[in-house]
Structure formats: structure tokens, C-alpha cells
Structure 1
Amino acid sequence: MVYALFLIFLAACFAAGSTGGLFPPGPWYRELSKPSWTPPDWVFPVTWTTLYICMASAGARVALADDNAFAMALWSLQIALNGLWTPVFFGLQKIKLGLIVLIALWLSVAATMIALWMVDWISGLLFVPYLVWVTIAGALNASVMRLNPEER
């Protein structure tokens, strides 16, 4: 893996993640009813940093491989959707639309994982924790929507 490529993919990940700083949860989110299994706040930056390193590693590994076009296109789609959820959910405060974005993100992450796996199995494996986390995020988003019907 070329380290410059890794840094470019990592920059793309952190650019998507920077929406968290632009649209922080704030009082609106703190006042919403949430399920008892909601992770504590400190878990989110630790998890996302770890996932971004895995995602960047996977992208950099496949970027130089033959027959990588489909995997790279899907990688681009998933990072765009990744960056979209925070402004929709926290910025616009649209819980239902946030869930729709998360469903699209889940589908794109699953497709990316498979496409990466077909080019380089290690890269596909690096996306497994991401798919698990997006699954948890989707369940949390759906639970918040269910627990806060007045916010729909």
C-alpha cells in the first residue's frame, strides 16, 4: 500500500466525518428519548476514528489493484452517504430522512464490502466492522424515530 494513497483516503474519511463538528448533536438530540442501549458519547469518536482507518486502508489497498473500478465507485458512494447523514439528522433534525440515508448507507457499505472482497479479501474484511456499526446506527436511528413520534 502506498502511504500517500492511504492519507488521501483517510482525508476523504475525515472530511465526511467533519460534518459531526459542523452539525453537533446539541440540545435537540439530548432531549430526545433514546433507547437504553444507546452508546455513551465517548464511543462515537473512538469508533469512527478506528473505522476511518480501516476504510482508508481498504481503499488504498484496492486503489492500485486491477479491476478495481466498481469497488472504487462504491467506496466513493458510501463515503458521500456517510458525510450526508449528520447534516440530515442533526442539522435538519429530520429523523425519518436520516433513517432513509442510513438505509442507503448500509446498502452501499454492504455492496462496497463485497466489491472490495472480490478484489482483495483483506480490504473486504476491513469493511466488516463498518457494516456492523452502520447496522447499530440504523437501529439507533429507527429506535429514536419510534420513541419520538412527535419529531417525525
Structure 2
Amino acid sequence: MFWLIFSIFLAACLGAGATGGLFPPGSWYRALAKPSWTPPNWVFPVTWMVLYVCMAAAGARAAVQPGNGVAMALWALQIAFNSLWTPVFFGLRNIRMGMAVIVVLWLTVFATMLALWQVDTIAGLLFVPYLVWVTIAAALNASVWSLNREEAAKASEPQG
């Protein structure tokens, strides 16, 4: 039963990850100024695959525990915001709105980690690397925003 539930959670994670294929960084992102500590491109898919397995395992572990309602609701909320960041940042090319989304994502990941911890300690621990990575991603988003103020302002202007 665990493997079936794990597969469902993994499918949700991979669905969120599919937005990367729908909205690839492309030349727009390559042209942006980035901080010197920006990870190399190959780090992103490798890191996300590891995180998705951890997230799915955490969800599956908590799903079979009693009293998991809040943890499961928060798990669903965080994966929704996870799915939203890529279309906003890369699809809309909106650095500022991407920052808003990632702040909410960080808060939901933190809340999910705490709720999972209450249901299953290992599930909570499995979210720690995810929170660390979202922290790094938020810092990167903030740095890109700071280094590209003119580009960020363009995406925020009304189109017409």
C-alpha cells in the first residue's frame, strides 16, 4: 500500500516539475545578471529529482497516519505553489511576482514540514532539504530581482 501512495505523491511532484519543461528558462533567463553563487544549470534537475522523491516519501508516510488532515492539506498547498513559480517566473518573465510566489512557497513548505513532523517525525525530516533548497531559490530569485531592476519593472508594467 505504501508504494501505491508513494507513487501518487510522486506523480503530483513530477506534475509540478513538468512546468519546467513547459516553461524552460531559455535565452531570457540566460541574459539576466545573476549572482556569482548561482548553481550550475545541471544542479537544478538533479536537486529537484531528489527533493521530489523526499517529498513523495514524506507525503506517503504521513498519509497512512491518523490525524494527518492538516499535514495533507498543507502538502497539497505547497505543491500548488511549487507548480506556480515556474510559469510566473519563466513563463510570464515576472521576477517580482516570482518572488511573491516563492515567499508563499517557503511559508507553505515550512508549515508543511512542521505539520508533517507532528504526524511522523521522519516525514518532517524529509522536508528539511526541501526547505533549504527553497531558501536558496528564494535568495537567488531576490538576487536576480535586485540585479535586474529594469527587466523586473518591464514585466510589472500593464500591457496595452
What residue in structure 1 maps to residue 8 of structure 2?
8
User: Could you list the runs of 5+ residues in structure 2 that have no partner in the other structure?
Assistant: 153-160
In the alignment, the residues of structure 2 paired with residue 47 and residue 150 of structure 1 have an alpha-carbon distance, to the nearest angstrom, of 30
* Separation in 2, partners of 1:148, 1:44: 21
Cα distance, 1:151 vs structure 2:
1.3
Per-residue deviation, residues 34-57 of structure 1 (Å, max 9, x unmatched): 000000000000000000000000
Q: Which amino acid aligns with 2:49?
A: T
Counterpart of 1:94, as a letter, is N
Structure 2 equivalent of residue 144 of structure 1:
144
Aligned position for 1:31: 31
- When the two chains are superposed, the root-mean-square deviation of aligned CA atoms in Å is 0.6
Structure 1 unaligned spans of 5+: none
Q: Please say which structure displays the higher CA radius of gyration.
A: 2
Deviations 1:99-150 (A, max 9, x none): 0000000000000000000000000000000000000000000000000010
Q: TM-score, normalised by structure 2?
A: 0.94
Ranges of 4+ aligned residues in structure 1 off by more than 2 Å: none
Residue 134 of structure 2 is aligned to residue 134 of structure 1: yes
Task: Indicate yes or no: 2:95 matched with 1:95.
Answer: yes
Identity %: 70
Give the aligned length: 152
